[in-house]
Amino acid sequence: MNKTTIAVTVITFLALTGLGLWAWSQFHEGNTNSESMDSIVVAYSPFESTALFWIAEEEHFFSRNGLNITLRKYDSGAASLDGVVLGEADIAVGVTEFPLVRKAFQGEKIRTIGVIDKGYFTYLIARRDRGIEDASDLKGKRVGTTIGTIAEFHLGRFLTLHGMSMNDISLVDVKTPTEWVNAVADGDIDAISTAQPYADVARDRLGANAVIWSVQSSQPLFALIATSDAWITAHPELAIRFLRSITEAEEYLKMHPADSRSILQKKLDLNASYLDTVWQQNQFSLTLDQSLVLAMEDEARWMIKNNLTNATMVPDFQRYIYSDGLDAVKPGSVNIIR
C-alpha cells in the first residue's frame, strides 16, 4: 500500500507539474503574441533587397523578439522613406542611400540603423526603333525614371561616363511599377532607368526592339533600414530587437539558402528563373561600413554639380547613421571611420 501510495503521489506530482509548465508556457506565449508585444509599422517597397526582412517575418523572428510588425507597401524606396518622414511608418526597409542623401539636403532628421543588402540591379532599357543603339544615341531622347530614387542617380552617372549630362536628355518622372514598364513598352518614352524585376519585364515586352545597359558600373546600391531621429531616440530598445531579428534572419539565410530563396519568391511573387538570375547580384548581410559613407558623399557631390540642391557643401553623413543598435547585436559589423 505504501509503494502504491508513493507511486500515485509521484505520478500526480509529475502530471500537475507538467500541466503547470504547459499553462505557464501558454500564458507566456499568449502575452508575447498580444498585449506584451511592441508594435512597429514598417514601410517597404517590393524589391529583393528586402530579403532579410521577409525571412525574419516568415520565420517569426520579430514576434519571438516581442515585436508586432504592421506592413505598409510603397512603390519605391524613396516613397517608403517619405512614409517615415510623414509619420506613416516607424521604419523603412530596403530604401537605398540616395533618397537619404536628398533628405539630408532638405534638413530632415533621419537616420539609417543598418544596411541589409548591397546589390547590382539597376538598368537602362531603351527602344531600338527610336534610333538608340549606343549610349550616345540617348541625347535628346525622352528618358524616364522615378525622380528622387537611386535609379535617377545611376542614370545621371551613366550619362556622365558617356560624355553627357542630364541636360542632354528630356527627363520624364515615371512614378509607379506599372508605368515603368508600360511607358517604354508602349512608346510614351524612349528609355527607362529602373530596377529589377521591372527592367526584365520591360525588356521582355520590347523583345528584339530592346537595348539594355547596366547603369551601376562598380558601385553597389545600399539597401538601408531607416528611421527618424525622434523614433530612434524614443525607442532604442525596439531598434535593438528589430536588428536582432534581422541578424537571426541573416544566420537563417546562411544555413538555409534554398528555403530563404523560396521565402523571398513567395513574399514578393517573383518568377523562379528571375530569382535564379538576380540572387547572386545581392550581398544579404547586416552591416554599416565606410563604403556607405563614401557612396553618399559621391551622390551628394553629383546632386550639387547638377544643381539638384541649393547646398554647396556635402553633409556630414555620420550624423545620419545610428550605429549603437548594430554594435549591440552584431559586434564587428560596424566599420565606419569616426
Does residue 26 surpass a pLDDT of 50?
no
Q: How far apart are CA 205 and CA 199, in angstroms?
A: 10
Q: How far apart are CA 174 and CA 4, in angstroms?
A: 82
SS3 165: coil
Q: Identify the residue with better confidence: 296 or 22.
A: 296
Does residue 84 surpass a pLDDT of 90?
yes
Instruction: Using the structure block, give the residue that is written with the C-alpha cell 508585444.
Output: 37
Report whether 173 contacts 95 (CB < 8 A).
Answer: no
Does residue 12 surpass a pLDDT of 60?
no
Tell me the residue length of the chain.
338
CATH 3.40.190.10 fits 38-120+221-335, yes or no: yes
Grid coordinates given for 270: 517573383
pLDDT tens, residue by residue, 217-248? 888 999 999 999 999 999 999 999 999 999 99
Report whether 184 contacts 144 (CB < 8 A).
Answer: yes
Q: Identify the residue with better confidence: 167 or 4.
A: 167
Provide the CATH number for the domain formed by 122-214 in this structure.
3.40.190.10
Grid coordinates given for 293: 559613407
Percent of the chain clearing pLDDT 70 (strictly above): 90
Domain residue ranges of the chain, discontinuous segments joined by +? 38-120+221-335, 122-214
Question: Given pLDDT bands bounded at 50, 70 and 90, which one contains residue 32?
Answer: very low
pLDDT tens, residue by residue, 103-158? 999 999 999 999 999 999 899 999 999 999 999 999 999 999 999 999 999 999 99
Closest to 117 in 3D by CA, of 77, 86, 72, 81: 77
Question: Given pLDDT bands bounded at 50, 70 and 90, which one contains residue 6?
Answer: low
Q: What are phi and psi of 162, to 5 degrees?
A: -110, 25
Q: What is the pLDDT averaged over residues 301-323?
A: 96
Q: What is the pLDDT averaged over residues 81-90?
A: 98
Q: Give the Cα-Cα-Cα angle 123, 114, 37 (nearest 5 degrees).
A: 120
Q: What is the signed CA dihedral for 43, 284, 154, 208, rounded to 10 degrees?
A: -100
This prediction's pTM = 0.85
Which whole-number Å values give the CA distances from 255 to 22, 149, 260, in the listed order? 31, 33, 9
pLDDT tens, residue by residue, 94-115? 999 999 999 999 999 999 999 9
- Name the burial class of residue 328, with classes exposed (0-12), middle (13-18) and buried (19+) by CB atoms within 10 angstroms of its CB: middle
Does residue 28 surpass a pLDDT of 70?
no
Question: Given pLDDT bands bounded at 50, 70 and 90, which one contains residue 271?
Answer: confident
Question: Given pLDDT bands bounded at 50, 70 and 90, which one contains residue 76?
Answer: very high
CB within 8 A of 170, min separation 6: which ones?
140, 141, 142, 143
Domain 38-120+221-335 and domain 122-214 have a common topology = yes
Q: What is the pLDDT averaged over residues 9-33?
A: 48
Question: Given pLDDT bands bounded at 50, 70 and 90, which one contains residue 312?
Answer: very high
Question: Given pLDDT bands bounded at 50, 70 and 90, which one contains residue 280?
Answer: confident
